[in-house]
Amino acid sequence: MSSFPLLTVAAALPAVGAVLTAALPAATSARRRDLNKAVPLGLSVLTLVLAAIVAIRFKPGGARYQMTEYHAWIADFGVGYSVGVDGIAVVLILLTAVLVPMVMLASWHDADPAYPSPDHHPYPGGSAPLLPINDQGTFERSRRTQGFFALILAVEAMVILSFEATDVFLFYVFFEAMLIPMYFLIGGFGDRTHGEDARQRSYAAVKFLLYNLLGGLIMLAAVIGLYVITAQQGVGTGGHGSFDLSTITQALASGKLHFSGTAENALFLGFMFAFAVKAPLWPFHTWLPNAMGESTAGVAVLITAVVDKVGTYAMLRFCIQLFPQASKTFAPAILVLSVIGIIYGALLAVGQKDIKRLIAYASLSHFGFIIMGIFAMTSQGQSGATLYMVNHGISTAALLLVVGFLMSRRGSRMIADYGGVQKVAPVLAGTFMIGGLATLSLPGLAPFVSEFLVLVGTFTRYPVIGIVATVGIVLAALYVLVLYQRTMTGPVAPAVAGFKDLRARELVVVTPLIALLLLLGVFPKPITNIINPAVRATLSDVQRTDPAPPHPAPLAQSASTTNGGGQ
């Protein structure tokens, strides 16, 4: 157990920062508003430093869960504040901490009270103040901007705690609690590039909340069922049940805890339903296009690159570890849903006219690959799926944030409203291309390695599923290249002619993301070294090993014959 509560501090810092940001004096000038933004940005950078320290201190060859902390919370019900990280959690915490400062910088003007960005400034040259002025000629006081940034920090804190939690009840609390700030980010700070239609934003926010609350309520029933069974079989202490993940998995391994087939299947489905909605997995995905379409680009990154990863992470952490037999029983059905999601999402992306909805359906397809890798139950598949979570987060963030910069200049998210951007803003077009090529998993960029591992890992156990899934790769090339062609090439559209190229702040946002895509595309070893031991431990929980090749390799046969002759 670590002497310094590093994991608690890493999650508490953005939580305290959210409260501090919300409590700052209301902005009465543009300068004050920028100072109010600098506080949460600085705190998010400090959180990134702490996440980096967690990654550095983590020893891939050490104990499965490291830097653990435990404090009794609701002792009468076996609930404790229990946190710890394995390799899978470490890389996802680091991903979250990297993306949040990028989201804040990219969203610098998204919540300004009067106008969405300087490009929409109503005064020539943008010289007049952005804050609205009242009848007395003084600035209106506004907390809107700092509320936006406080909500982002609150989401970060809850996501990090979800990755750290090793108590099932503690995980459930933050799994559900993160819905509240996300609801306000979608409904209260939605995309204004296509007008002020609050009804569409409200609909998207309510749909997001209701879908995920339904999944959470079903999971709560399963969490209670798990507790009751552990109490009946004496797994907890003092006659109580247990929510502690390590205690339950050890009891399962030793035979002290045993589920009936029906009970295990029911509990697995309760957990899996909640995670399938959050991820999302087809056909539980229908909230995603609405939520992403009506959100700002930065909030859309939080949805698909950060919050949704909690769902796929939880499949590895809780579904497989707590219910190993049920995981194997339902794996074929989940693989079929994953493949449907891969192809369905890609097909709908091809036909989209809205850029953000196109990216939403592309993400549905990518989540199909991630979930397919998890339930292929092979080391390559699960390592690839975990790496895919990281790489998808980086590539989708890069593409969405560049799209946000593009939309702020034009005031539209419709593909048909663009054309010839590369002639007037070549750097913007170039970064857009790299983000798009990463989305289609071009070799040399980070997502290619993870997608390749997922397909190889799936093919070794389910060859038909693996072959069908490759259709998604072909369709991805189609929707990405067509999107680039229609927006960036061809004659310069009249509304595009005055576009400015990426500014310094925007370059600070996209440059690190593109650098990570290139680095992890050619050298993923630092991440895979952390991931692989955790994946092997997960497979041992479910008592799965990689399938043996159907026939010995020719070189191996030759070597065997040679050695035999020498004897």
Is residue 219 a contact partner of residue 227, using CB atoms and an 8 Å limit?
no
Provide the 3-class DSSP secondary structure of residue 491.
coil
The three-state secondary structure class of 190 is strand
User: CA 490, CA 419: separation in Å to the nearest integer?
Assistant: 6
Please give the backbone phi and psi of residue 353, each rounded to the nearest 5 degrees, phi first.
-105, -15
**Does a cis peptide bond (omega within 30 degrees of 0) precede residue 280?**
yes
Name the DSSP class of 75: G
> In the 8-state DSSP scheme, what is residue 564?
H
Nearest to 327 by CA among 169, 532, 544: 544
- Contact of 274 with 216, CB cutoff 8 Å: yes
Residues written for the chain: 567
Do you find a cis peptide bond into 122, omega within 30 degrees of 0?
Answer: no
Distance between alpha carbon 9 and the CA centroid of its chain, in Å? 22
Q: What is the CA radius of gyration of the chain?
A: 24
How far is Cα 66 from Cα 62, in angstroms, rounded to an integer?
A: 8
Q: Are strands 66-74 and 79-85 parallel, antiparallel or unpaired?
A: antiparallel
Q: Are 442 and 476 in contact (CB under 8 A)?
A: no
Cis peptide leading into 283, omega within 30 of 0? yes
Q: pLDDT (tens digit, 0 to 9) for every residue of the chain, 567 residues total?
A: 457 899 999 999 999 999 999 888 877 777 878 888 899 999 999 999 999 999 999 999 888 899 999 888 887 777 888 999 999 999 999 999 999 999 999 988 887 765 444 444 433 333 333 444 444 444 444 567 888 899 999 999 999 999 999 999 999 999 999 999 999 999 888 766 554 566 788 888 899 999 999 999 999 999 999 988 988 887 777 667 888 888 888 888 888 888 888 999 999 999 999 999 998 999 999 999 989 888 889 999 999 999 999 999 999 999 999 999 999 999 999 999 999 999 999 999 998 998 999 999 999 999 999 999 999 999 899 999 999 999 999 999 999 999 999 988 888 888 888 988 999 999 999 999 999 999 988 999 999 999 999 999 999 989 999 999 999 998 999 999 999 999 998 888 888 888 888 999 999 999 999 999 999 999 999 999 999 999 988 888 777 777 766 655 454 444 444 444 443
DSSP 11-42: HHHHHHHHHHHHHSPPB-SHHHHHHHHHHHHH
